[in-house]
Amino acid sequence: MPRVSIQSAAANPTRVRAVFLDLVDRYGQTITTAGMYASLAVIYFWFGGMKFTAYEAEGLTGLVGNSPLLSWTYSLFSVRAFSGLLGVVEISIGALIAARLLNPLYSLIGGVLSAGLFVTTLSFMVTTPGVFLPELGFPAISVAPGQFLLKDIGLLALSLRIAIDSLAAFRSADA
């Protein structure tokens, strides 16, 4: 498809559409890929930062305390200490994902760790009381913690996509 300038397109709506499609064709993949990495890094920095607050630490107790995978951590750490430790882990994962700019190996590691974290949080859906609302029938789930946890399906998929994209970039850099 021939490249169309914005000036020549302004007089013709069909050409405006062609310019838009040409820009999407040229830059769309780059923009969405950068957005993918940036959005997950921002989520991790924000969620990780919140883990240092009493509000967030207390909010985790019902999820962590009912989890066979993590409930033991409260015998080793206080609620605030565990939450702070989780905050360090989350901020570190965000930094690894953002470090894609330096080396795709970092974001590969971050994507894999992120996927593991979201598999863990999704396990809370079956261990936390109050997620499912049987009195309302399937597919009813509570707003919190149910819908709060359900969003992690999308974040798990994004984590896996980042890991796969990073692996491909790492392998092509090695070639």
Quick check: 52 pLDDT over 60? yes
Which range marks the domain in which residue 130 is found? 32-174
In a domain, residue 22? The reply is: no
Q: How many domains does the chain have?
A: 1
CA distance 5 to 19: 7
For the residues 9-32, what does the mean pLDDT come to? Answer: 83
In a domain, residue 3? The reply is: no
How does the average pLDDT of the chain come out, rounded?
Answer: 92
Residue 86's alpha-carbon distances to 17, 23, 49, 83, in angstroms, are: 47, 41, 10, 5
In a domain, residue 24? The reply is: no
For the residues 44-60, what does the mean pLDDT come to? Answer: 98
In a domain, residue 121? The reply is: yes
In a domain, residue 117? The reply is: yes
Q: Which range has the worst mean pLDDT, 21-35, 123-137, 150-164?
A: 21-35
Q: Which range has the worst mean pLDDT, 20-29, 33-42, 58-67, 160-169?
A: 20-29
Quick check: 125 pLDDT over 60? yes
Q: Which range has the worst mean pLDDT, 10-19, 55-64, 102-111, 127-136?
A: 10-19
Count of residues for the chain?
Answer: 175
In a domain, residue 53? The reply is: yes
In a domain, residue 159? The reply is: yes
Neighbours of 107 (CB within 10 A): 27
Q: Which residue has the higher pLDDT, 22 or 124?
A: 124
In a domain, residue 140? The reply is: yes
Give the pLDDT confidence score for residue 41 in this predicted structure. Answer: 98
Compute the radius of gyration of the chain from its Cα atoms. Answer: 21
